[in-house]
Amino acid sequence: MKLEGKSVFGGIAIGKCKVYGKKESFVKRNKVVDTASEIKRFSQAKEQAKGQLAQLYEKALKEVGEANAMIFEVHQMMLDDLDYVESITNMISTQGINAEFAVAATGDNFAEMFAAMDDDYMRERAADVKDISNRVISILQGDQNQGDLGKEPVILLADDLAPSETVQLDKSKVLSFVTRHGSTNSHTAILARTMNIPALIGVDFHEDADGQIGIVDGKQGIFIIDPSEEEIAHYSKLKKQDEDRARLLQELKGQESVTKDGKAIQLYANIGGVGDVASVLANDAGGIGLFRSEFLYLESSDYPTEEQQFKAYRTVAENMAGKKVIIRTLDIGADKQVDYFGLDKEENPAMGYRAIRICLDRKEIFKTQLRAIYRASYYGKIAVMFPMVISVDEVLQAKEMCQQVKEELKAEGVPYSQVELGVMIETPAAVMISDLLAKEVDFFSIGTNDLTQYTLAIDRQNPKLDDIYDSHHEAVLRMIQMVVDNGHKEGCWVGICGELGADISLTETFLQMGIDELSVSPSMILPVRDQIRKSGALR
In this prediction, residue 323 carries a pLDDT of 95
Inter-residue contact 430 to 423 (CB < 8 Å): yes
Burial of residue 132 (number of CB atoms within 10 Å: 0-12, 13-18, 19+):
buried
Q: What backbone phi and psi angles, to 5 degrees, belong to 249?
A: -60, -45
In this prediction, residue 186 carries a pLDDT of 58
| 65 backbone φψ class: left, alpha, beta (φ>0; ψ -120 to 50) | left
In this prediction, residue 166 carries a pLDDT of 65
Q: Which of 131, 134, 137 is nearest to 99 (CA)?
A: 137
In this prediction, residue 193 carries a pLDDT of 64
Amino acid residing at 76: Q
Amino acid residing at 534: K
Where in the sequence numbering do the catalytic residues fall?
A: 187, 497
Give me the numbers of helices (H) and strands (E) for the chain, helices first please. 20, 16
Inter-residue contact 385 to 329 (CB < 8 Å): yes
In this prediction, residue 536 carries a pLDDT of 75
In this prediction, residue 148 carries a pLDDT of 60
Burial of residue 326 (number of CB atoms within 10 Å: 0-12, 13-18, 19+):
buried
CA distance linking residue 489 with residue 10, whole number of Å: 44
The model's pTM is: 0.60
DSSP 400-441: HHHHHHHHHHHHHT------EEEEEE-SHHHHHTHHHHTTT-
pLDDT tens digit at each of 539 positions of the chain? 899 998 887 789 999 998 876 555 578 899 999 999 999 999 999 999 999 899 888 877 776 667 667 888 889 999 999 999 999 999 999 999 999 999 999 999 999 988 888 777 677 788 889 889 988 998 998 865 455 667 789 998 988 776 666 666 777 788 888 988 876 655 556 556 656 678 898 899 988 898 999 999 988 999 999 999 999 999 999 999 888 877 876 788 889 999 988 889 999 999 888 888 888 998 899 999 999 888 888 777 788 899 999 999 999 999 998 999 999 999 876 555 667 677 777 667 677 777 899 889 999 999 999 999 999 999 999 999 999 999 999 999 999 999 999 999 999 999 999 999 999 999 999 999 999 999 999 999 999 988 998 999 887 667 678 778 888 999 999 999 999 999 999 999 999 998 899 899 999 999 999 999 999 988 789 889 999 998 875 55
